[in-house]
Amino acid sequence: MTDLRDFARRAVERAVPKIDQSAIFLGLLPSENMAEHANLVIEFGLAVLLDKPIYLLVPDDLRLPSNLTRLAHGVERYRGPDDIEAATARLLRRAHREREDRG
Q: How confident is the model at residue 8 (pLDDT cuts 50, 70, 90)?
A: confident
The arrangement of secondary structure in 2-102, i.e. its CATH architecture, is 3-Layer(aba) Sandwich (3.40)
Would you kindly state where each structural domain of the chain is located, as residue ranges?
A: 2-102
pLDDT at 34 over 70: no
Q: What is the pTM of this model?
A: 0.86
3-state secondary structure (DSSP) of residue 52: coil
CA-wise closest residue to 23 among 49, 51, 44 = 51
pLDDT at 1: 63
